[in-house]
Amino acid sequence: MRCVTTNRDKYVKYINPRRGYADPRYLNVNPIQRGGILTEEAKAALLEWCDGYSVCDFCPPQTPRLDKIANPPISEFYRDLAEFLGMDEARVVTRCREAKFITFKMLGKAGDYVVLDSLAHYSSYLAAELSGLRVKEVPNSGYPYYKVNPEDYALKIEEVIKETGKPPALALITHVDYLYGNMVEASKIAEICHQYEVPVVLNAAYTAGVSPVNGKELNVDVVVSSGHKSWAACAPTGILAMNEEAAGRILKPSAIEGDVTRRSFKFKEVALLGCTVMGAPLVSLMASFPYVAKRVQRWSEEVEKARYVVEQLERIDGFRQLGLRPKMHTLIHMESASLYEVSRKHKRRGYFLYDELKSRYIVGIQPGLTKHFKFNVYGLSWDQVKHLVRSFHEIAEKYGIEVR
């Protein structure tokens, strides 16, 4: 048998891949990448804490749990994190989807319903599935605005009550969706759900960490978010923040006992399987936190950039922004029928757009797509925003598309 270690070079070469993305000359406008760029502080912290279970050397023996570690200040960070999101308790888990799964699992019983918006991320559906829950979708208005109507949450809750005789176990609100970057009226939806005493989970994967999000002001019970998407942290990191009542149900201590040994683990939080992120990714999130807490205050300027880009790109014949107007978020979905027409005759087909953008040092728009495409301008400087706009205008003109 061939020894697998002879393939060593195959793996080692990935250490310096120059994906074309890590190269600082490139702008990566992939929607999922803009909020996850690390601070210099986080990069330095990563090196320091890179080995295995690095933070576990500092676990207090009397209270052996990740959130009890005082130095590095994980315990204090969790308190600050909860306060930052206007919640009472916070935990760091591996991903936003894990935070949703934990919440669904602990707030629901098998067979219960979760009411969610029809623009929810696929992982919201999978979190429900793995928790044994069924879903009831709140529809959206479809092309071109894809608006989710807050009142429709009431209709869906009524539907669940009619079908099962009781309200759903919980309601999920996607604060800003990954498809159109639409922001919903979270506090209005939460108010409607609370009239039925349904706990509300806010999926802030695309909002918390880049924009100000206060769970208490929005009147939600749980806030979940994604560290690698929106908190200048590396993967995998997710945020689970709860009000006191939800925390009481979600952070239940373990109750199991060994039948022979009588061993028990009453200090461990069962849904977290004791501890979650025990090293470098958590420290990257912590090291970026002061920067993140400050950057959310600049959100209105980020939205201004998004509106500018939409205005400038819609000068191109056949371009139309999809989703709600005006933009309230930096994720932009553009319909571009004129580029599709070009692609039908181009020898590179839909890939011509990717080629044209890449030659202008812009990456992150899905290769092959021209009918419509998504991108995110979060954190671009005004110079970079203008370079992006100029590039699209140049490409349009090169292929004979009018720029008004």
Ligand X SMILES: *Cc1c(COP(=O)(O)O)cnc(C)c1O
Q: 171 with 114: CB under 8 angstroms?
A: yes
Q: What is the DSSP letter of 324?
A: S
* H helix or E strand, kind and range, residue 392: helix 382-398
Nearest CA to 240 out of 127, 368, 88, 28 is that of 88
User: For 166-199, b where at least 16 C-beta lie within 10 A, e where not — what string?
Assistant: ebbbbbbbbbbbbbbbbbbebbbbbebbeebebb
* Least CB distance to ligand X at residue 332 (A): 14
Which of 28, 226 has the CB closer to ligand X? 226
* Least CB distance to ligand X at residue 238 (A): 5
206 near ligand X, judged by CB under 6 A: yes
Which of 182, 203 has the CB closer to ligand X? 203
Among 91, 105, 121, 295, binds ligand X (CB under 6 A): 121
* Least CB distance to ligand X at residue 203 (A): 5
140 near ligand X, judged by CB under 6 A: no
238 near ligand X, judged by CB under 6 A: yes
Among 178, 289, 354, 373, binds ligand X (CB under 6 A): 178
123 near ligand X, judged by CB under 6 A: yes
226 near ligand X, judged by CB under 6 A: yes
Sign for the pseudo-dihedral over CA of 129, 96, 380, 300: positive
203 near ligand X, judged by CB under 6 A: yes
Q: 172 with 197: CB under 8 angstroms?
A: no
Q: What is the residue type of 192?
A: I
* Least CB distance to ligand X at residue 140 (A): 14
229 near ligand X, judged by CB under 6 A: yes
Contact code string over 289-328 relative to ligand X, x by CB under 6 A: ----------------------------------------
Which of 221, 356 has the CB closer to ligand X? 221
Q: Name residues whose C-beta falls within 8 Å of residue 46's C-beta, 6 or more positions apart in sequence.
A: 38, 234, 280, 283, 284
Among 39, 131, 140, 174, binds ligand X (CB under 6 A): 174
* Least CB distance to ligand X at residue 153 (A): 17
- What whole-number distance in Å separates Cα of residue 116 and Cα of residue 304? 29
Q: 38 with 232: CB under 8 angstroms?
A: yes
**Piece of the chain touching ligand X by CB under 6 A; list 58-66, 93-101, 338-346, 384-392:** 93-101
Burial class (CB within 10 angstroms; exposed 0-12, middle 13-18, buried 19+) of 80? middle
User: For 146-159, b where at least 16 C-beta lie within 10 A, e where not — what string?
Assistant: bbbbbebbbebbee
What radius of gyration, in Å, describes the C-alpha atoms of the chain? 23
- What whole-number distance in Å separates Cα of residue 30 and Cα of residue 33? 5
* Least CB distance to ligand X at residue 128 (A): 13
205 near ligand X, judged by CB under 6 A: yes
Q: Which of residues 22-41 bind ligand X (CB under 6 A)?
A: 32
* Least CB distance to ligand X at residue 1 (A): 37
* Least CB distance to ligand X at residue 127 (A): 9
95 near ligand X, judged by CB under 6 A: yes
Q: Which residues bind ligand X (CB under 6 A)?
A: 32, 95-97, 121, 123, 174, 178, 203, 205-206, 226, 229, 238
